[in-house]
Amino acid sequence: MTDLRVYLPIADLQPQFAAYMATPMRARGYPPEEGEHSLIIEVAPALAIHRIVDLALKAQPDLEPGILYTERQFGVLELHARDRTVVESAGAAILKGIKAKPADQLKPTTLFSDIIERISDQHAVIFNRTREASMILPGQSLLLYEMAPALFAAVASNEAEKAAPGVTLVDVQMIGASGRIAMAGATADLKKARASIDETLAAIKGRSGT
């Protein structure tokens, strides 16, 4: 049996999120581009993700897989294409092949959310210690958001950027025990971004569980 944990269509990839997904640490396959459409899936057991890949690419050979990752318990796949109908068709083939529907996925849960206004220079330095770009600057405000399952950080980041394109996407962690987002900018813009994340996660249908 394949347990569908996350079934996540993401329409119209935004510039910063697409760039993040295209980094070598994320796009170990084909990097996505701004304006493309994505489908991200997580299943258990981890190796079942290879059946998901097979179902998708045989149904739509023009799809490009960006992420194929197996951690200890779960397998993760990201697919993207310029044509949204191609992504939707592949998704339908996957669901049919594993006898599942989107609402079988886990419903996201917000674990933490905060906006820290006008951070100090020392805070900015230590926060940026692992950053090579997209840094937060002293005096900017910082939005922190954590949710589970982790992959929902992907759609949350993309929708937040749509709502507040002036913010800086500092960090996204979308694989692991929980998903985490860090965004920098003006407080008013970050409030828009957080409201968009709240609305996006609340609208996702799914089952309770971990």
Q: In what order do the strands lie in the sheet with 168-173?
A: 109-116, 141-148, 179-185, 168-173
209: confidence class by pLDDT, cuts 50, 70, 90: confident
Structure confidence at residue 1 (pLDDT): 84
Tell me the chain's radius of gyration from C-alpha atoms. 17
CA 53 to chain centre: 18
Per-residue pLDDT, averaged over 154-170, amounts to 97
3-state secondary structure of 194: helix
44: confidence class by pLDDT, cuts 50, 70, 90: very high
Nearest C-alpha neighbor of 145 from the set 105, 119, 184:
184
Question: Is the distance from CB of 35 to CB of 12 less than 8 angstroms?
Answer: yes
Distance CA 64, CA 62 (A): 6
Q: Which residues pair with 199 in a beta bridge?
A: none
Lowest-confidence range among 71-75, 94-98, 159-163, 168-172? 71-75
Distance CA 92, CA 94 (A): 5
25: confidence class by pLDDT, cuts 50, 70, 90: low
Distance CA 132, CA 209 (A): 36
Distance CA 68, CA 79 (A): 9
The pTM (predicted TM-score) of the whole model is: 0.93
- The residue with tokens 């993700």 is 49
